[in-house]
Amino acid sequence: MTQATKPLRTCRVCGLQALTEDDLVKFAYNQPSAHERQNICKKCLQEDSKKRSLRTATDDPPGSTRCRACGRLLTVAESVARGIGPRCWAQGAR
């Protein structure tokens, strides 16, 4: 009877498993983590990124503005006028 090997990485979205070092190529790179890979495959990460960018662009109220530095939704009139939110302004993003 053979012993089941524990996968090195498993995608948290689709369940894809990396059983060997060669399979890790299918997972997104992340140097500080174990095996230098994230626990999400490149395909799922790309799809999530597309969904996220579409959601932020279409869910904004009409006439709203986003921070030029970080992309957060601006609600205060002063921040809207300068195009940069208070956090980014405090950090020197001008």
Q: What pLDDT sits at residue 53?
A: 74
Half-sphere exposure of 48 (CA within 13 A, CB side): 11
Return per-residue pLDDT of the chain as tens, 94 residues: 455 688 989 999 999 999 988 998 999 888 787 778 888 899 999 998 888 777 655 677 777 888 888 888 888 889 889 989 898 888 876 6
Look at the pTM and tell me if it is higher than 0.75: no
Structural domain boundaries of the chain?
1-59, 61-94
Cα of 90 vs its chain's centroid, Å: 24
